[in-house]
Structure 1
Amino acid sequence: MRNNRRDFLQKVGLGTAGLAASPAESGEKSISEADDEQYLHIGDDIAVADTAYGKIRGYQLNGVYTFLGVPYGADTSGKNRFMPPQKPAKWEGIKDTIWWGNTAPQIMDNRYANVHYSFADHWNYDDVSEDCLKLNVWTTGIADGKKRPVLVWLHGGGFTNGNGIEQDGYHGENLAKKGEIVFVSINHRLGPIGFTDLSGVGGEKYASSGNVSQLDILASLEWVRDNIHNFGGDPANVTIMGQSGGGAKVTCTMSMPGAKGLVHKGVALSGSMLVANDQEYSRKLGQYVVEAAGLSPSEVDKLQDIPWREYIDIANKALDRMRKEFPQPGFRGGFGPVADGVHVPKGEFFSNLTDHTAEMPLMICTTFHEWGATRTNPKLDNAGEAEIIEAMKQRFGEKAGEVYRAYAANFPGKKPAEIMTLAASNRASAVACGNAKAKQKAPVYMAWFGWEPNLYNGRMRAFHCIDICFWFANTDRMYTHTGGGKRSRVLAEKMSDSLLSFMRSGNPNVGNLPSWPEFTAEKGEVMVFNDVSEIQNDPDREARKALS
């Protein structure tokens, strides 16, 4: 009988690798006996949900229904490149959505070259393709009539890199389960594919080309509006949240007229923006792209046929020329949102006291040592004042000494390397964003994350990205940022509670943290997150004066 079973399984394609002893032969528990210990469930009738385009099937893990790589837009290649996102085609039957969608086109060369960054950030990248308009959903209920708050995560990487699950800390399972919310993360077009403004050379056909990445984000939010009730979510309570470049996407998306009714709250971590690229600049860059491709204005359509990797190289050559001929201060310029006055407003965001943004609460957070340079450099970490001031000249020029002394006076007792990282990670842009938003009706809440992990001999500090996993209750999952364990988990419990409260009501106050006041330009109230969290009033205001 055993030989016949083996022959049958080999015929249907399982081979001997698929053979296993029966429960009776192995002494293992039967499926029914072990069922209460099983935490992954996947099968024909498990985790099936409706969307406007067809049914999808995911899986259930730890009590959370999980759907990965769900289409919210059509393939953006070919004739769809530089065009506003199109609806995905409907499908027959049930689409399996159990793996991440494609990463948007970006340069992947040497992405893992630095072993320390690869270890600490544990980058996750899958196939790269222009068919990248996909999203992921975590929820504890399917079409159960409940109205759970919805969080839409916008990944970091500036406007050129990243994807919706590039770090394990982005995972939505824990927060969805803890807070009875629906967690959504998305991929969207990036860099030259998402922000080449060809409206100056290509005319009306390319009128929206400079902002198609931002239009992708709106398309994902429209998908949420139209479909999230099938996942137990409330389309009338949507919070968008992002970090670094994702934080800038948050403030830009909130400000777009098309976001009215789609976005209700925002959370910007370690990044924000108040002004998009001037269209005169973006159109000049678009002209340079056409010239770098060796095309005339009448041949703009040919840019849609160039393989995406080759196109990015062409566009970056144009950007090099642009930076030489029209340099922009700081991080301005490049391929990013365009103030076209249609999709993205001209002027400063949040400056209208009565538009849709005035009703949107905003939470802003930065970290103490965003751009710390000492993780793998013990010599720099132990350097003296003179050596640190010399190193700071790369960023602050001849003002390095003045900036150093201002921060040293503001933060007595800090070693020189810590003064350098505090200065380099200054909160000026976050405070400027808070000041602008505070003029409107809806409240602003400011946070500053100072918790430091005991990793790399203490040199990691409160670095760029570390706070994400605390907000999402993922500190054990993202152990390469935190070390894992109780200490990080205690703070994560408080921060994730606060985020969930903000999602529900627009107010982050919870009982396990000090009373968190609204931010005002006068006092600069900020929640300082650490093992012991506390409210301070603009604690680095005097130091920042040296940066002007």
Structure 2
Amino acid sequence: MKKRMMAGLFAVAAMALVACSTASPGGSPDLALSVDPVLSTKYGAVRGKREGDSKSVAVFRGIRYAASTQGRRFQRAIEPAAWTGVADGTQFGSECPQRPSEDIPVFASWVNSVGMSEDCLFLNVWTRGLGDGKKRPIMVWLHGGGYVTGSGSSNGYDGSRLAERGDVVVVTLNHRLNGFGYSYLAGLTDDPKYADAGNLGSLDIVQALQWVQSHAQAIGGDAGNVTIFGESGGAAKVATLMAMEDAQGLFHRAIAQSGSMSLAGFDPRLATGLAKDLMNTAKVQSVDELAAMPMEDLVKAMMASRSRAAFFRPVVDGRSLTRHPYTPDATPVSANIPLLVGTNNNEMRLQGGLGQPGNFSLGWEELPAKLAEYVDKENIQAVIDGMRAAHPGYDASDVFFQVATFRNYRGTALLQAERKGAQPAPVYMYRLDWKTPVEGGRLQTPHALDIAFVFDNVARSISFTGPETPATKRMAVLMADAWIAFARTGNPNTPALPLWPAYGVGNRATMIFDLQPQVVVDPDKAERELLQRLLPEGRSQ
């Protein structure tokens, strides 16, 4: 009882601090902005700092939304214990366990590693108001890295400029990844505590969204207007959440950037085989032993296993995920959720180019073997002939990158839009065409380039977008404002853009983001019709 009373007193004190650190109508804004902001959560108070060009954005990093999973591996997260005093909210929390990241030069500006731990369920908030009665749209970002790597602490995801620009609340978060978050164990043990192990990462996100709902008023947001958005694996997580009944009512709009690959999840049979292989590689006899391994040893076992610590996906387990999100049609769970979806024009020039530089200078005789990863053998020549007819100016490398881009990104985005378009809520389609000058221009419009513009963070992204220029600033204005408009109303139209109609198979209206944005009906129609007919559904592995 005494402990609860003390926690209550600290909460009251924190609310007083919040009142002091937020300008009242008759108070002095300058005085308010000179005081560190304090956020009162239902678990305890958190002190942050003020950032942004005007220093008007209250930023809280490393807010605990769930208890540590250390000692509870492969089990659903639980609420954190309340704390006394005012916790430090100026540093990001630990990243969730994952394999080491490769050094990719274009990402250098964004790198912000803070170390790994199984105590990693933290979120971060950027807001211009604390408990001020305003109902700002809340934009919850889901990081990329597939379901295997990444965190919400990348410099590219800094929400200060987006929060300041649109007077929105921005939230980023960490959740469990790879085998820690997506090992389906129900086929290997009857222990009920492991029943949800195949979808823990997604359930962590649900718990973070529940935190957002509970604290919307405290962070100056609108609990009835939450947008989930993400890029690459983050967009896949958006698609998965759209099919999860546990997530219903926790978000109201969705944005999928370059990652509509979760049209389908793993089935239990495949997922059980991967979990069994992990146990064999780890040389353990039981799930309990796997759960008790040191974190570092489990990461090494995953890297040595068939999955290579990279082949994990949500599982249609009949519990938290009862059907595939977008196969064979769009999930009815989110039929009334508006969707903004799209890709970059040359996604695979990043993964298929920087990782394999020879692909930038392919000869026609090399192309069939290169396409074998993306095209069924009997269709390779027809794909090459069709692409050359659709794009007479393409060389062999151009054909390779565009076919790979369509297979892994554009094709699944189109399928998601087509299937979602059969439901009541509108769908808006885009494609980013602006070309980055880095790497001598050979990347053109690669995977992840959009992040710098959506967050209005070109100054933090010079390794990817090049020096900050009027051109990069304009791209940020165009995309960030469209994302803010969509979060606010479910419609991405802004005064700076031409009229952007909703997407449907009858018009296929697509916003082309470039210095002079334009709406094009069915861009690259010949390519789309060719590749939708000849490529397998879904992305390559």
Question: TM range, normalised to the smaller chain?
Answer: 0.7 to 0.9
The Cα shift of 1:498 comes to 0.8
String of CA shifts for 1:172-230, please: whole Å, max 9, x gaps: 11010000000000011000000111112221221111111111000000000001211
String of CA shifts for 1:232-274, please: whole Å, max 9, x gaps: 0111100000111111000101210011110111101110212
The Cα shift of 1:383 comes to 4.8
1:185 counterpart letter in structure 2: T
Within a 5 Å distance, the mapping from 1:73-84 to structure 2 comes to: 73-78=66-71, 80-84=72-76
Inter-partner Cα distance in structure 2 for 1:155 and 1:320: 21
2:159 counterpart letter in structure 1: G
Q: What's the TM-score once normalised by structure 1's chain length?
A: 0.84
Shifted more, 272-281 versus 398-407: the winner is 398-407
Within a 5 Å distance, the mapping from 1:404-415 to structure 2 comes to: 404-415=384-395
Inter-partner Cα distance in structure 2 for 1:186 and 1:237: 18
Within a 5 Å distance, the mapping from 1:127-206 to structure 2 comes to: 127-166=115-154, 168-203=155-190, 204-206=192-194
Instruction: Say if 1:40 and 1:60, in contact at 8 Å, map to a contact too.
Output: no
String of CA shifts for 1:10-32, please: whole Å, max 9, x gaps: xxxxxxxxxxxxxxxxxxxxxxx
2:513 counterpart letter in structure 1: F
The Cα shift of 1:403 comes to 2.2
Q: Which residue matches 2:85?
A: 93
2:479 pairs with one of 486, 495, 505: 495
Inter-partner Cα distance in structure 2 for 1:535 and 1:378: 33
Q: Which residue matches 1:522?
A: 506
Shifted more, 175-184 versus 373-382: the winner is 373-382
1:67 aligns with 2:67: no
Question: Alpha carbon RMSD of aligned pairs, Å?
Answer: 2.6
1:341 pairs with one of 318, 321, 336: 318
SS of match in other structure, 1:87: coil
String of CA shifts for 1:59-112, please: whole Å, max 9, x gaps: 00132111111100111111x11111111111001001101111110112xx35
Instruction: Say if 2:239 and 2:325, in contact at 8 Å, map to a contact too.
Output: no
SS of match in other structure, 1:225: helix
What fraction of aligned residue pairs are identical, expressed as a percent?
34
1:469 pairs with one of 444, 452, 456: 452
String of CA shifts for 1:291-326, please: whole Å, max 9, x gaps: 433343xx42222210112113334444359x9xxx
SS of match in other structure, 1:461: coil
Q: Which residue matches 1:425?
A: 405
Are the structure 2 counterparts of residues 353 and 317 from structure 1 closer, same or farther at C-alpha, using a change threshold of 3 Å? closer
SS of match in other structure, 1:231: coil
The Cα shift of 1:378 comes to 7.7
1:229 counterpart letter in structure 2: Q
Inter-partner Cα distance in structure 2 for 1:66 and 1:268: 25
1:292 counterpart letter in structure 2: T
Inter-partner Cα distance in structure 1 for 2:399 and 2:328: 34
2:287 pairs with one of 277, 291, 300: 300
Shifted more, 225-234 versus 278-287: the winner is 278-287
Instruction: Say if 1:350 and 1:357, in contact at 8 Å, map to a contact too.
Output: no
Instruction: Say if 2:433 and 2:512, in contact at 8 Å, map to a contact too.
Output: yes
Q: What's the TM-score once normalised by structure 2's chain length?
A: 0.85
Inter-partner Cα distance in structure 2 for 1:529 and 1:499: 12
2:112 counterpart letter in structure 1: N
Shifted more, 284-293 versus 224-233: the winner is 284-293
Inter-partner Cα distance in structure 2 for 1:419 and 1:354: 33
Which ranges of structure 2 fall in alignment gaps of 5 or more residues?
A: 1-27, 536-541
Q: Which residue matches 1:124?
A: 112
SS of match in other structure, 2:228: strand
Q: Which residue matches 1:366?
A: 343
Within a 5 Å distance, the mapping from 1:478-489 to structure 2 comes to: 478-483=461-466, 484-489=468-473
Instruction: Say if 2:110 and 2:156, in contact at 8 Å, map to a contact too.
Output: no
Inter-partner Cα distance in structure 2 for 1:285 and 1:400: 30
Are the structure 2 counterparts of residues 340 and 387 from structure 1 closer, same or farther at C-alpha, using a change threshold of 3 Å? closer
Inter-partner Cα distance in structure 1 for 2:193 and 2:331: 33
Inter-partner Cα distance in structure 2 for 1:376 and 1:346: 35
Inter-partner Cα distance in structure 2 for 1:376 and 1:198: 34
Instruction: Say if 2:265 and 2:316, in contact at 8 Å, map to a contact too.
Output: yes
1:447 aligns with 2:439: no
Inter-partner Cα distance in structure 2 for 1:207 and 1:454: 49
Q: Which residue matches 1:329?
A: none
Are the structure 2 counterparts of residues 435 and 353 from structure 1 closer, same or farther at C-alpha, using a change threshold of 3 Å? closer
The Cα shift of 1:342 comes to 1.7
Inter-partner Cα distance in structure 2 for 1:239 and 1:350: 23
SS of match in other structure, 2:217: helix
1:473 counterpart letter in structure 2: D
Instruction: Say if 1:255 and 1:350, in contact at 8 Å, map to a contact too.
Output: no
Are the structure 2 counterparts of residues 320 and 247 from structure 1 closer, same or farther at C-alpha, using a change threshold of 3 Å? closer
Instruction: Say if 2:66 and 2:78, in contact at 8 Å, map to a contact too.
Output: yes
The Cα shift of 1:139 comes to 0.5
Are the structure 2 counterparts of residues 364 and 50 from structure 1 closer, same or farther at C-alpha, using a change threshold of 3 Å? same
Are the structure 2 counterparts of residues 496 and 320 from structure 1 closer, same or farther at C-alpha, using a change threshold of 3 Å? closer
1:278 pairs with one of 267, 280, 295: 267
Instruction: Say if 2:498 and 2:518, in contact at 8 Å, map to a contact too.
Output: yes
Instruction: Say if 1:278 and 1:338, in contact at 8 Å, map to a contact too.
Output: yes
Are the structure 2 counterparts of residues 351 and 504 from structure 1 closer, same or farther at C-alpha, using a change threshold of 3 Å? farther
Are the structure 2 counterparts of residues 348 and 259 from structure 1 closer, same or farther at C-alpha, using a change threshold of 3 Å? closer
Inter-partner Cα distance in structure 2 for 1:428 and 1:480: 28
Q: Which residue matches 1:30?
A: none
Are the structure 2 counterparts of residues 198 and 112 from structure 1 closer, same or farther at C-alpha, using a change threshold of 3 Å? closer
Q: Which residue matches 2:19?
A: none
Are the structure 2 counterparts of residues 412 and 470 from structure 1 closer, same or farther at C-alpha, using a change threshold of 3 Å? farther
SS of match in other structure, 2:63: strand
Shifted more, 312-321 versus 508-517: the winner is 312-321
Are the structure 2 counterparts of residues 413 and 103 from structure 1 closer, same or farther at C-alpha, using a change threshold of 3 Å? same
Are the structure 2 counterparts of residues 100 and 455 from structure 1 closer, same or farther at C-alpha, using a change threshold of 3 Å? same
Q: How many residues align?
A: 492
The Cα shift of 1:375 comes to 5.2
SS of match in other structure, 1:493: helix
Q: Which residue matches 1:217?
A: 205
Which ranges of structure 1 fall in alignment gaps of 5 or more residues?
A: 1-35, 324-332
2:404 counterpart letter in structure 1: A
Instruction: Say if 2:325 and 2:331, in contact at 8 Å, map to a contact too.
Output: no
